[in-house]
Structure 1
Amino acid sequence: MLKLALADCQSRVDAVLAAHIDALPQTAPALKAAMRHGALIGGKRIRPFLVYAVGELLGVDKAKLDRLAAAVECVHAYSLIHDDLPAMDDDNLRRGKPTVHIAFDEATAILAGDALQTLAFEIISEADAGLAPKAQVAMIAALAKASGYLGMCGGQALDLAGEGKSISLEELTRLHNLKTGALIRAAVELALIAADASDADTAALRAYADAIGLAFQVQDDILDITATTEEIGKPQGSDLDANKSTYPKLLGLDGARQTADALVADALSALAKMPYNSQLLADFARYIVARRV
């Protein structure tokens, strides 16, 4: 069931993303091509999946979720393009393919990231999105907060500042709650707003999102040292090469795995408080720490 749901999400959101990018005029063809490369290079589509899974759980029509899924993936794609830049993580591979600054050039990659970020808010704010204006404003605010100083950008700044240093487990957790967790929580938040969810459902699903967001990063840290370059689609051991603090580095490999398992247990506990059949979200939480990519 989960495998089919993930595949459906990937094909669906990719079609929406392609339609929005392809509809752009040919004002700057290289930039448009770079945006397409960065957004449609592949990937698990974790954040769009959460938009669809949470939204459908709460009774929102899938067609109303398409734009939200595409918007959150635009922001994620922009963040990866910028993360890969020489001034950031300096990676040449992303999902087994050349990163945008390698496939094009550094200036075009910067602009492609900028353009995808702003496209996300254009998609959410379109008048024919089938959403109430009040809900659209709330969604824009949630996605902006998750993307900026109090979210991904702040987390990336902490990540860069921590290179070559030994940071505490508390600092590492705070860093990744911002850099990785904030956008995962935003994906859930978009669906909650679309559903006009109850306070109880909102609290439970926010707790679920926080737990799987951190579990996702812990598993990424584990894969950085246990998976091959071919499996993860980027150079194996890149975090170690950058002398970054990671969960395996601070806790040991077994300790990191125990932490990931404990976070999944927290996510399942949050779901248990809801009066719905949330088996898909439960399976997804387990998938987060079982994946090899």
Structure 2
Amino acid sequence: MERGDLTNAEWDRLESFLPRGGGRGGRWSDHRRVINGVLYRVRTGVQWRDLPERFGPWETVYKRHRRWSADGTWQMLLSKVQAAEDAAGLIDWDVSVDSTAVRAHQHAAGARRNGACRGSSKGGLSKDESGRSGASETGRTAGGGGQLGECLGRSRGGFTTKIHLAADGRCRPLALLLTPGHYGDGPQLRPVLERVSVSRIGVGRPRTRPDHVLADKAYTSRENRRYLRRRGISHTIPERLDQRRHRHNRGSRGGRPTGFDPDRYKKRNTVERAINRLKGFRAVATRYEKRAYTYLGTVTLAALMIWLRT
């Protein structure tokens, strides 16, 4: 075992959930060796062709990562680990929401439009019209057509992708969402929270509702507050000065002040620390993939390792 590889304990937690057959009567190459190869690349950001020989043919490692990003295997593994943590009572359901912009490498541009994946707008993974598996967001989020569909956009940071995430109170990503880099944070609060779904071990529906949500001023719109109240989720979100001024100017018609607990708001740093952990993986901190669903698989694998090693 080399630095950064799966430990025996980590492998034992994942082995039983991995696919058994290679399809059409074939056999998979050793899963553990291939996963270690993908981890090496995600951790160091090297080109696939530069993977050390101990991981086997680089094409095998790359194709396995691309396939598991498309069919949801990485997300399935993350869900299984989250379910085990929740069953043990180890998830802090004070959830913080934020985003981070990721600079896209020049090699991330140029994805062919006719190869873009399309699907439903409910998250997860689906197949496009040609039968190819891919991420299932259209237009704005991971997997749609064109440059917007590949979650690439121009922002003050340049050619960027934005990662929106919800993190639990122990600095671990619960849900992930990709958008182009110039998209605002506020409109993504609802899509991110709707991706929070931790399965139960045994009988019961997945848990989808946090105990409390913390977010910064970018998420302080009335629409977001109404959405949280409708779901019965308490929240701590500061009010912007212009909104406060507008409410005062309207007098009694402006409504009551929003509740804000400054001491509880200090806990929002958990999502910032989760972002720092994600960006400790160099292939997450810089986007090299052309396809949004492949990059989402890279980010999901990094999140999986955070859950395994926290």
More strand by share: 2
* Bigger radius of gyration among the two: 2
TM-score by shorter chain over 0.5:
no
TM-score (norm: length of structure 1): 0.32
Higher relative contact order (CA 8 A, sep 6+): 2
More helix by share: 1
